[in-house]
Structure 1
């Protein structure tokens, strides 16, 4: 089972990142993709991936929250990172109209520029979309025939938005959000609608600790070692065998990100 979204560069992991990776290995996690959300985080993610060669890989990109930082220098730095062997996708990039830490206009500029870069370099994209589906789809659609693959990371949208993403040919990243009885029930009900070859699983650690873990961890920090719990829960709600689903989603990740 492969965790496609781990924020290992988070300060929450600063003191024990090596042990976090080891716990993931012991839990049966077979690989991880470390998320880059800014130039600084993308550099750090790549270094961590290099330290865990053959087990971790990374993305390089600018999250919509940081889109106001996008300029020619940032674009060149992301390009240089993307040429490194540990970096297997452009992103996390997209639109987030929920918080608007960067203006919608700034987000659209940074998103479009990163789609163009991914197309030029023939790289997959690791996407973020929150409360921005219509504009997200409009900006993304013209690029899809120029991109090798695209995954919507941490999908939490509606039935209509899921249908739209699937119609565009996107893969869907599912987190422990579906384990939350307060806000994850709608998405949980949609899980069987995702074709298995388009399904990817992730923790988004240290965020989104599954609320139904038993016994409850002493810390609220999520870790990639909890991915097996998400696999089991998603498999149960899809009425599939968890070991089979873990293997399938691992295969999907390795195919999408072209890992060897």
Structure 2
């Protein structure tokens, strides 16, 4: 019997955004899902939703995205999804810390948090994923041992007047993903970075915007559509795979 594929997701927010949509979609496509999050309420609710819908998900609540906490989560995940019954084939780093302030108003604590969450936590998460993938055999269907995806933002490639701290962190995430793609592609480990260039239709954005905005797919990103792009990345074969793609609604100014 073939091992069941596992997706590990870090960062699911309140269950209305990209991380949660990705977890739901992969579960519908036969993956077991490991959910890493700082808050227990939303991640437990999402895991229960997936399980009652016929999928398989397990929550892993951590106190912070510090290296030790992320590493502990990976240890717990590999124990909960042991080989040979399971094989971790996909991982999504979807958490971030954003600061939107003029430069002189940014505090040292905000700079530190941006670097810790967007860079240091990404390093810790990537390390857990790469170590898990290196234990896998190359899949015949797509020629890879695993796929690691980082969710980026407009600030990943372009600074702006109020994004000095945020862009510094997201530039770091992007650089990490590119370095890993070059280092581990030779081992058939696929690393990709997705620039999400626009507002995503989450509960928070619904509260901030009009019903007209919510109903206009030309001006906002659907988290379900982002998730579909992530599944596409994971399924790409080794003869033509993507390091970076950017996703934006049709009418986004760029």
Instruction: Please tell me the TM-score bracket, short chain as reference.
Output: 0.3 to 0.5
| TM-score between the two structures when normalised by the length of structure 2 | 0.44
| TM-score between the two structures when normalised by the length of structure 1 | 0.43
